[in-house]
Structure 1
Amino acid sequence: MKKLLNIVILLVFAIVVQACYEDKSGLDVNTIPGVEIDTTGVSKISVYQFDNLELNPKLNIEGLSESQLDYEWKINLAPNDTTYQILSNVRNLDSEIAFPPTNPGYPHQLVYTVTDVNTDLKYIMAWPVTVLNNIGEGIVIAETSDGTSTDFSHIMSADVTTDFEGESVKYHVYSKINGTTIPGVTKQIKYYQIYGKNAMLGITDNMIYRIQTLDYTLAGTNNDLFYVPQTSYNPKALGQVNQGSLFINNESLTSTYFGASQKFGSAFASSYTVPDIIATNPKANPPVTINYYSEAIDKFVYQPSITQFGDSNRYEIPENTTGVFNPATLVNMVNLAAGTGTDGAFRHLLKNESTGDIGLYVFDGGASDYPNTIPPAPIAFFNLTNAPDIAQGKSFVFLDDQKVMYYATDSKIYAVIYASTSVVVQERYTAPAGEELSILQVYQQADYPFRSSGSYLPLNNKALLAATYNGSEGKVYLLPLINTGIGNIDTPNIKTFTGFDRITAMNTQL
């Protein structure tokens, strides 16, 4: 019995020893090759929207060769989404990130996969990625590649962006973010701050739309932007006066104060139709806020106020037989341009449809004689019929603080100086060969002239913005102005931005 017990004890001991034996054949003796992704110092990632995300992870691939490894970088289409987009299939990442800026606590997920093609083993690492806003103050470009839809690009540089160095041009911003373009060709865009949010309004032949400039997403079209839907949409122009944002639709004028409202209200009730070119006074509480030439009735019309506390009715400017011209005798005219000087004077560039004559007609700003308003009175007239190439003019703009007007033909820009009784017209710029001038406007920061501090960039109101097209590429030119009152262009310091489609509208944003 004792002998049998000893045999049992020896057997149990052998089993225990065998169970504790460490098999090292798969470790030191037969090591399995693998990949180690070193993420030291890289636990989370942030990238500015439309910048390239660059990552060069350190890989330990001892025992493997590069030829047997495949790489994949992918990122989910939205935070918490399970659908991924492949960014790259090379070892190091260098790819543009065009997603909208992310909200705090909701990052994208970036996944890096290294695959051993011989064993199909996958080595995976993931990081949270925060997308930061990278579209700030600058120039917004509305462009079309097909003549039927609109995309947006964006320019930032030290000349047009506060506290910015270098230059950044982001192409096709809208389509990259939204995966589509805006239907219709945009003919005007304008920045507004709508209920505390930065936004851009744009108009096509049959639509007004709103874009949030934080992330360039669509925030509404047509009825979405009105408290009371309109019967139809035939947008003509967008504008701005002190505490009033203007929209001309179907020859009617609508105004709202976006500081306290998110939409447009009803149009002003009036029997006088409104053309798409009007002069507006941006000062606070001017005697007359709006003045225009009505092509429908061949009369000049004015509106003292746009507020509910003022007189928002419209009146005809009466006959004046003692002034430099009689506004009541100007018939068969069409509007070419209108503007208001810092002195309050209304300026109207009109063309006679019958004779082809072109003239600049200037009114004072009117006056208040409570409870009545004294209408604007004619103070100057300049015959521009014989100005060089003005019959071929396609864009006309006024400097508000100088008695200078510019007009552009297909290839040239001219300055009209009307500071005295005699007018001077001189050529100021010729577009490069093969390029056609399509747009001309004064460069003004988006909130000019309403900024309380009055502090603007050096080129604000002291440069022209011009767009050209050569049949395949659109370009933007920033033309600095020198010699106040003369309208000269600082040719050596012209800035050029290239690579756009056909540009249909431009403006600035904050």
Structure 2
Amino acid sequence: MRKHTLYLLLAGWGLLAASCYDDKSTLQTTHIPPVEIEVPEAIASQLTVVHNARLDITGIRITKDGRENPEELTYEWTVSQTDNDSEAISLATTREFHEVIDLPISSKGYLFLLTVTDTAHDLKYQYKWTLIVTAQFNEGLVVAYTRDGTTSDLGLIMHPQLTETYSGAEQGTVEKELISRRNGSPFPSAVTHMLYTYDKTDKKNILWVSTDDDLMRVETDYYEILGHKEDAFVYLPGKLDIRSLLNTYQCTMILNDGDIYETLLSRGRISTPVSGTETMTVDNGVVSAHSAPGSTRKPSTIFYDREQGKFCYGYNQTFYACGSVGSSPFDPGNAPGLRCIAGGISIDNATHTLLMRKADGNHALYTFGNYSASAGAPAAKLIYDIPAEANALIAEA
């Protein structure tokens, strides 16, 4: 238990104007028993509650002169943004606290205060906490699923092995029907792609969710659909065919019907296809992309253009086609006859890697390195040939 005692002493002082003054006061020799507030260590400094859930605070021992909870004590629980906030909100006047908290979600926390007043002497004693208000659904693995083969919904798997902040059941927790519960109905068709990102404008964690006929933004506090395709695009494309959703450096990249869109995280809507990409095609919708900071990580995006027979690259809404440099082991600007199967960042967290099918039907990993701070063309690094025996396995995958 943490014991917290606050003494508020009142003292009166007389001015000795003359030696004949007879001080008959008793204030200096009267002892006022203090009120002591003892709080369990588990809740001694911080409280956490889910938004719109009930916060229960029990086990606090309040004594005065050895008596527990004497009748001359009154209680008030208040909350405010800071110590100096003059507009504290009164939540309850009971000894224990059992109230629903509807404050906005805040990871920074609120000042939560218990004030005990000794009405016999008009003295106040206080105990302070930091109150963290969290979303109903915390970090975890979001999964799209369908029960009937037509409509779809989202589920959230929370487990101590998925996130350090998880504090639920040891075996984990699964929340289902997140979209239905918040929005009244599931998605009317199957989910095709999802992407987590952060909206710098609204300061929200966002899921981009696409279906065959829609592109939606979903917030992750309660999984409310914030907008549909008409809200996502400034100019709605004539055909919606989302092939890929990607995080790139400071941007969200969307491939739709052969067009390349890349929008900064500070912008809430997607404008038009990136200027200069009108003649580019992303083979098989595959892009190797990273979103890590640092100027030495340029470019952030590499993909293969089958029609041009060369690799293309981009960084922050600017894209280029590789020029022929005759480099070994391959020339990024002159590589016809390939097909792109998959792509991503290698295990060193730096090397762009694309799995390509060559003209002879065999596969190889094409890797890129030697990035420059000026976002110059990526240089060929290595080719890793994959044994022909793996062709059937890759085809099945």
- TM-score w.r.t. the length of structure 1 is 0.47
Instruction: Name the residue aligned to 1:364.
Output: 369
TM-superposition CA deviations, 1:215-264 (whole Å, max 9, x none): 11211111211233323211111111221121111222222222x32212
Counterpart of 2:256 in structure 1 is 249
Counterpart-to-counterpart distance in 1, 2:155 and 2:51: 13
User: What RMSD over aligned residues (CA atoms) do the two structures have, in Å?
Assistant: 3.2
Structure 2 CA distance for partners of 1:243 and 1:198, relative to 1, 3 Å? same
Report matched runs for 1:173-322 at 5 Å.
Answer: 173-194=178-199, 195-258=202-265, 260-270=266-276, 271-275=279-283, 276-282=285-291, 283-285=293-295, 286-303=297-314, 305-307=315-317, 312-320=318-326, 322=327
Paired residue secondary structure (1:223): helix
Residue in structure 1 matched with residue 339 of structure 2 by the alignment? 334
Separation of aligned partners in 1, 2:138 and 2:184: 21
Cα pair 1:255 1:267 within 8 Å, conserved: yes
Q: Which residue of 1 aligns with 2:175?
A: 170
Shift of 1:140: 0.3
Distance 1:226 1:297, change over 3 A: same
Counterpart CA distance in 2 for 1:382 and 1:148 is 41
Partners of 1:149 and 1:344 lie apart in 2 by 39
2:160 to 154, 158, 161: 158
Contact map agreement 1:209 1:221 (CA 8 A) in 2:
yes
Matching residue within 328, 349, 357 for 1:351: 357
Gaps of 5+ in 2: 1-48, 54-99, 105-132
Contact 2:324–2:332 at 8 Å: present in 1 too? yes
Q: How many Å separate the matches in 1 of 2:218 and 2:328? A: 46
- 1:310-340 deviation digits (Å, cap 9, x = unpaired): xx241234142x5023445533322111123
1:45-88 Cα offsets, whole Å, 9 max, x none, are xx96999xxxxxxxxxxxxxxxxxxxxxxxxxxxxxxxxxxxxx
Q: Secondary structure at the match of 1:182?
A: coil
CA distance in 2, matches of 1:385, 1:145: 40
Checking the alignment, whether the CA contact within 8 Å between 1:242 and 1:284 is kept in structure 2 is no
Structure 1 residue 172, shift from structure 2 partner: 2.0
The reply to whether residue 384 of structure 1 matches residue 386 of structure 2 is yes
Using the alignment, how far apart are the partners of 1:154 and 1:50 within structure 2? 19
Instruction: Name the counterpart of 2:70.
Output: none
Deviation for aligned residue 1:137: 0.5
1:30 corresponds to: none
Structure 2 residue identity aligned to 1:273: T
Preserved CA contact (<8 Å) 1:202 1:208:
yes
**Letter paired with 1:197:** K
Mapped to 2, the partners of 1:179 and 1:343 lie a distance apart of 41
The question of whether the paired residues in 1 share the 8 Å contact of 2:321 and 2:333 is answered with no
Structure 2 Cα separation of the partners of residues 150 and 177 of structure 1: 14
CA-to-aligned-CA distance 1:146-183 (integer Å, 9 cap, x gap): 22222111111111123223211112222233331112
Deviations 1:389-434 (A, max 9, x none): x52337xxxxxxxxxxxxxx67xxxxxxxxxxxxxxxxxxxxxxxx
CA distance in 1, matches of 2:101, 2:237: 35
- How many angstroms does 1:293 deviate by? 0.7
TM-score under structure 2 length normalisation = 0.59
User: Distance between the aligned counterparts of 2:255 and 2:206, measured in 1?
Assistant: 18
Give, in whole Å, the separation in 2 of the partners of 1:317 and 1:278. 19
Q: Is the 8 A contact 1:254 1:267 kept in 2?
A: yes
Judged with a 3 Å threshold, the aligned counterparts in structure 2 of structure 1 residues 162 and 297 are, in CA distance, closer, same or farther, namely same
After superposition, the C-alpha distances for 1:357-378 in whole angstroms (9 at most, x for unaligned) are 111111214335x6xx542222
* In structure 2, distance between residues paired with 1:103 and 1:264: 33
Q: Report sequence identity in percent.
A: 20
How many Å separate the matches in 2 of 1:234 and 1:204?
9
C-alpha distance in 2, partners of 1:264/1:190? 15
* 1:46-195 → structure 2 map (5 Å cutoff): 103-104=102-103, 133-165=135-167, 166=170, 167-194=172-199, 195=202
Task: Find the aligned partners of 1:318 and 1:137 in 2 and give their Cα distance.
Answer: 45
Question: Per the alignment, in what secondary structure is the counterpart of residue 191 of structure 2?
Answer: coil
Match of 1:455 in 2: none
Distance of 1:366 and 1:153 partners within structure 2:
39
Mapped to 1, the partners of 2:165 and 2:103 lie a distance apart of 25
Higher relative contact order at CA 8 Å, sep ≥6: structure 1 or structure 2? Answer: 1
Return the letter of the residue paired with 2:136: N
| Contact 1:137–1:156, Cα closer than 8 Å, also in 2 | yes
Q: Secondary structure at the match of 1:348?
A: strand
CA contact (8 A) 1:203 1:237 kept: no
Structure 1: which 5+ runs fail to align?
1-46, 52-100, 106-130, 395-408, 411-510
Structure 1 residues 103 and 228, CA gap change in structure 2 (3 angstroms): farther
Secondary structure of the residue aligned to 1:174 is helix
Q: Deviations over 1:111-140 (max 9, x none)?
A: xxxxxxxxxxxxxxxxxxxx9842111000
